[in-house]
Amino acid sequence: MSRNGTNADVVMDGVPCKRMKVEAVDPVSPLNFNSPEALFESLISPIKTETFFKEYWEQRPLLIQRDDPSLAAYFQSLFQLTDLKNLCRQGMYYGRDINVCRCVNGRKKVLNKSSKVHYLQLRKDFDQKRATIQFHQPQRFKDELWKIQEKLECFFGSLVGSNVYITPSESQGLPPHYDDIEVFILQLEGKKHWRLYQPTVPLAREYNVEPEDKIGAPTHEFTLKQVDNTAVATERLSGFLRLLADQLEGTRDLRSSEMKKDFIRSRLPPYYLGDGSSLSIPDGKFPKLNSKVKLRFKDYIVMTVETDKDTSGETQEQMVYIYHSLRNKRNAHMMYGNDNEMAEALGLRFSLSHMDALKQLWSSEIISVKELKLNTDAEKENLVLALWTECLVEVI
């Protein structure tokens, strides 16, 4: 991964083709979507979140096995081979959306064509060549995966991606391997699993550390799986981490605003029930001075203090910026190299005098507009109106 984020691989291995042709009614989700914390705990159940972070996170692997037919049916429904038939009609491309591969003599052999993906050819490679189909970032198209992953992004505060691997029975798509700095594996049933991990090396870019210049080795050589000698790998990684620590020593500005903006402009938009509508048009009552309001989508907003971008010279003043992900493009999520990737974060700008009022909105469940800490009633109304126009507050 090229960003600091969390990734999940959904693997369907050894599932008979006839079974995957069956289009069953979507089972009721056994996961708890009441909050990001509730979802994560339902994913790792029966392990508690506190136990996970205390005993497993960045310490040792965790294997969870559950014999629950409803859970198995639910995860089986998240993505099936037959889903690719409709997706291919939408315009899928080899390399960008789909990879086809086989493990030959212990090595991965890529069987991609240099064209748009056609389902009949894809199915032929799957059935006759016994090839594995890898589908990139299915949350772009599958609503339930979108629903899961945007909540996990709220929980981890980092990007959460996924890949689907569909392998014919008695076949192998990839040689034995492991992901860098893997935290835990959730075994769902059989050979389906989610793999979550937190890469370390991408942090270097945030703090202007250049491993290839300082240590004399290309960045990719810091991945442990590419170094045969464990002692050499440990020495290289330790050296890199010491260098990173030296760079951070005494640094006051950790570029937290840039990191927050990078995350907020790249993450998934909030999940909403698809009726063709979007979150770009405010609804509900128009806010007035006597209105009581409530902040919406708090998990999808960041507030930063930055130098005013519209001024220059020695008199630049500090402003409060509110960024949000409500109108991010779901179909571009985690698709690196896309023109959308470096799009400017969406949001609002306020003078620093609005900071206390904004903090009130953040910390209050419900608050009256006239109680906001601003000098005039007009400022209070204008602040709430600006947030309402961006769909960030609602009138109660």
- CATH value at residue 305: 3.90.930.40
Q: Considering the domain boundaries, does residue 273 fall inside one?
A: yes
**The pLDDT value given to residue 281:** 75
Do residues 32 and 137 share a domain? yes
Do residues 38 and 146 share a domain? yes
CB 64 within 8 A of CB 44: yes
Q: Which residue has the higher pLDDT, 289 or 246?
A: 289
Do residues 183 and 302 share a domain? no
Do residues 150 and 41 share a domain? yes
Q: Considering the domain boundaries, does residue 300 fall inside one?
A: yes
Structure tokens at 155: 């929980």
| Residue entry with tokens 């052999």 | 109
Q: Considering the domain boundaries, does residue 261 fall inside one?
A: no
| Cis before 27 (ω within 30) | no
Q: Considering the domain boundaries, does residue 219 fall inside one?
A: yes
pLDDT reading at 290 higher than 90: yes
Do residues 41 and 188 share a domain? yes
Do residues 241 and 279 share a domain? no
Do residues 108 and 78 share a domain? yes
Alpha-carbon 28 to chain mean position: 24
* pLDDT (tens digit per residue) in 66-105: 888 888 889 889 998 889 999 999 999 999 999 999 998 8
Do residues 214 and 241 share a domain? yes
Domain that holds residue 122: 5-197
Do residues 235 and 283 share a domain? no
Cα 36 to Cα 56: distance, rounded to the nearest angstrom: 19
Overall average pLDDT of the 224-250 stretch = 64
- CA triplet 227, 6, 231: central angle to 5 degrees? 20
**The CATH number of the domain where 92 resides is what?**
2.60.120.650
pLDDT reading at 247 higher than 70: no
Q: Considering the domain boundaries, does residue 125 fall inside one?
A: yes
Residue 336: partners with Cβ closer than 8 Å, 6 or more residues away: 2, 3
| Residue entry with tokens 């203090």 | 305
Q: Considering the domain boundaries, does residue 253 fall inside one?
A: no
Structure tokens at 263: 């995350």
Task: Count CB neighbours of 38 within 10 A.
Answer: 15
Do residues 90 and 130 share a domain? yes
CB 144 within 8 A of CB 80: no
Q: How many domains does the chain have?
A: 3
Do residues 280 and 375 share a domain? yes
Task: Count CB neighbours of 292 within 10 A.
Answer: 15
Question: Which stretches does DSSP call E strand in the chain?
Answer: 5-13, 63-64, 98-104, 107-110, 132-136, 159-167, 182-189, 192-197, 292-295, 301-307, 318-324, 346-351, 367-368, 393-395
Do residues 104 and 129 share a domain? yes
Q: Considering the domain boundaries, does residue 255 fall inside one?
A: no
Q: Considering the domain boundaries, does residue 259 fall inside one?
A: no
Structure tokens at 69: 């037919």
Helix (H, G, I), strand (E, B) or coil at 94: strand
Confidence grade of residue 188 (pLDDT, cut at 50, 70, 90): very low
Structure tokens at 212: 């290839």
**The pLDDT value given to residue 11:** 47
Helix (H, G, I), strand (E, B) or coil at 122: helix
**The pLDDT value given to residue 204:** 34
